[in-house]
């Protein structure tokens, strides 16, 4: 964890010491501090690659900084401080997380300083606020854990800052709640959505845009993190002795019914090593494995029969 101190702090602290030495009645108890604590389960360099943080005290900008995975300074948790604040002075923050120059998430937060206290203004960047399924919130509301909530928290309601604030904090994940059960992965099909399949169902083989041949695979999952998880597909033709894959991706999952999440549109190419015509009509055991950023892993398997024909040829 890194704490960012504005250069202004040292000048202010030095002046305060000099005035105190000369008998100035102002004491540290007349001032307050607010620490903006940013936490997230989003993986830097995967789900997001940059974060723009702006912290203000009143109308004065304390911090305006772009953190990136390329520079190596985009890490969680992150701290930004506003010190030497008057009692009741407004503090506001704007955090924008982006990937490849596109803003994916914007969080705002505000509070006010309390004299004699060092407060923690905690902001969690949740995967549930990423992507097209995230709610569109209008200020002063902001997306928090997938819901539009009030961005202002009264200073009197904030906890006091401690250096281990993130170690005992919980991060809400719509796909992996607090105290989750065992990971669950179910193999299905679908290019535009998750569709359930049963063992023995026919999987249509399609011609790909670059000459290969594939089937569309979708997965349904529970108790694995929504963002930053590695999804892997492998296949096995028992009667042919052929193995296919692995095919690995890192995509953010979409919420689904019943506490599940889903990922679909996985183009699983079959003929990287063998001629597709040798496989048509044969049974393929498809295995989906998801390993999340906490190290938890879930696996699901479904045996399908490849179609006798190729769509698109």
Q: What is the pLDDT of residue 41?
A: 82
Residues in the chain predicted with pLDDT less than 50, given as ranges, are 7-27, 170-171
Q: What is the pLDDT of residue 303?
A: 98
With contact defined as beta carbons under 8 Å apart, do 72 and 2 qualify?
no
Which CATH fold topology does 2-157 show?
Immunoglobulin-like (2.60.40)
With contact defined as beta carbons under 8 Å apart, do 255 and 133 qualify?
yes
Half-sphere exposure of 96 (CA within 13 A, CB side): 11
Q: What are the pLDDT digits (tens) for 144-195?
A: 878 899 999 999 999 999 998 887 554 457 888 777 889 999 999 999 999 9
CA 69 to chain centre: 14
With contact defined as beta carbons under 8 Å apart, do 194 and 249 qualify?
no
Closest CA to 106 of 132, 121, 89, 125: 125
Helix, strand, or coil (residue 96): strand
Q: Is 90 exposed, middle or buried (0-12, 13-18, 19+ CB in 10 A)?
A: middle
The whole-angstrom separation of Cα 149 and Cα 139 is: 10
Taking the CB of residue 243, how many other CB atoms lie within 10 A of it? 13
- What strands lie across the sheet with 2-4, from one edge to the other? 2-4, 78-86, 31-40, 118-125
The whole-angstrom separation of Cα 193 and Cα 251 is: 14
Q: What are the pLDDT digits (tens) for 46-58?
A: 889 999 999 999 9
**What residue ranges do the domains of the chain occupy?**
2-157, 184-311
CA geometry: angle at 283 spanning 280 and 287, to 5°? 115
The whole-angstrom separation of Cα 172 and Cα 178 is: 7
Closest CA to 40 of 132, 177, 145: 145
Q: Confirm whether 2-157 and 184-311 share one CATH topology.
A: yes
Helix, strand, or coil (residue 30): helix
**Matching CATH number, 184-311, of 3.90.190.20, 2.60.40.2240, 3.40.50.150, 2.60.40.2550:** 2.60.40.2550
User: Which residues are paired to 248 by β-bridges?
Assistant: 232
CA 157 to chain centre: 27
β-strand pairing of 242-249 with 297-311: unpaired
């Amino acid at each position: 964890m890194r704490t960012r101190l504005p250069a202004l702090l040292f000048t202010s602290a030095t002046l305060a010491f000099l005035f105190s030495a000369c008998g100035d009645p102002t004491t540290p108890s007349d001032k307050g501090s607010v620490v903006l604590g940013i936490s997230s389960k989003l993986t830097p360099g995967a789900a997001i690659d940059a974060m723009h943080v702006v912290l203000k005290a009143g109308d004065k900008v304390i911090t305006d900084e772009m953190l990136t995975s390329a520079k190596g300074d985009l890490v969680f948790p992150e701290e930004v401080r506003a010190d030497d604040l008057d009692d009741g002075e407004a503090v506001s923050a704007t955090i924008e997380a982006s990937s490849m120059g596109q803003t994916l998430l914007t969080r705002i937060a505000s509070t006010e300083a309390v004299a004699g206290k060092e407060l923690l203004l905690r902001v969690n960047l949740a995967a549930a606020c990423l992507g097209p399924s995230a709610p569109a919130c209008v200020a002063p509301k902001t997306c928090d854990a997938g819901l539009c909530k009030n961005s202002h928290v009264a200073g009197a309601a904030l906890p006091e800052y401690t250096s281990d604030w993130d170690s005992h904090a919980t991060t809400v994940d719509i796909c992996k709640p607090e105290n989750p059960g065992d990971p669950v992965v179910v193999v299905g099909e679908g290019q535009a959505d998750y569709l359930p399949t049963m063992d023995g169902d026919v999987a249509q083989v399609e011609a790909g845009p670059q000459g290969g041949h594939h089937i569309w695979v979708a997965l349904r999952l529970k108790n694995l993190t929504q963002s930053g998880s590695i999804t892997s597909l492998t296949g096995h033709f028992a009667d042919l002795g052929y193995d296919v894959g692995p095919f690995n991706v890192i995509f953010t999952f979409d919420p689904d019914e019943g506490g599940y999440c889903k990922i679909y549109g996985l183009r699983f190419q079959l003929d990287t090593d063998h001629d597709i015509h040798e496989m048509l009509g044969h049974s393929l055991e498809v295995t989906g494995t998801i390993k999340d950023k906490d190290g938890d892993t879930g696996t699901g398997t479904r045996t399908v029969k490849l179609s006798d024909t190729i769509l698109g040829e």
